[in-house]
Amino acid sequence: MIGTVLKAAGERAGGCAALIAAAACFLWFADDMRPAVAQAAPTAEEARLVEFGKEIFKSKAVCQYCHKWDASGDQGYGGNALSLRATHLTPEQLTEVVKCGRPGTGMPYHDRFAYTDKRCFGHTREEMGKDMPPAGNDFLSQREVDAVVKYLFAKAVGRGPATYDDCIDFWGTNTRQCDPMKN
């Protein structure tokens, strides 16, 4: 494309126009070539929301029973669970899964009104039949769902295997849970 623009510009106005067109193209694409900048530290409110999400993941929704404490999934206490560390779901999609569960799997729904109308995947309980996901052990408010998703994207999604520091962050220092991960 750039070559075509340069050729056309050169044919119309000579070499000077080609140089101007090349400079314009460079400036157009230069923004994409800037080095990545580290993200700013989370605000105090964002840090509180992530911590709140961790507590919901750990205790109220008990996500760790299936997805494991580090969200790596695999064979958990509740069966096969997908790795949330390796998921390609967007925050919006993950929110829907937390609220509506996964039809035909053991992933429970946590929205009190899931499948009472067509808010979940466009189906009601009656339409789901045997594919109806189980209810979670506790229902979550929208704030709690948002906090869990925020926690997962801050601490698990897109990250490699969990580290000793991740373990201490999750369990705290007063536990032997993380001892096998020490270097």
What CATH number should be reported for the domain holding residue 158? Answer: 1.10.760
Same domain, 133 and 82: yes
Q: Is the pLDDT of residue 15 over 50?
A: no
Same domain, 111 and 131: yes
The pLDDT of residue 38 is: 55
**Radius of gyration for the alpha carbons in the chain, expressed in angstroms and rounded:** 24
Domain housing 102: 44-181
Q: Is the pLDDT of residue 30 over 50?
A: no
Q: How many domains does the chain have?
A: 2
- In this prediction, residue 107 has a pLDDT band, given cuts at 50, 70 and 90, of very high
CA–CA gap between residue 105 and residue 79 (Å, rounded): 10
Residue 38 within a domain: no
Same domain, 16 and 104: no
Residue 57 contacts by C-beta under 8 Å, 6 or more apart in sequence? 63, 64, 71, 148, 151, 152
Same domain, 27 and 63: no
Same domain, 55 and 20: no
The pLDDT of residue 77 is: 58
CB-count exposure of residue 62 (10 Å: 0-12, 13-18, 19+): middle
| pLDDT, tens digit, 9 for 90 and up, residues 121-138 | 999 999 999 999 999 999
Predicted structure pTM score = 0.75
Residue 39 within a domain: no
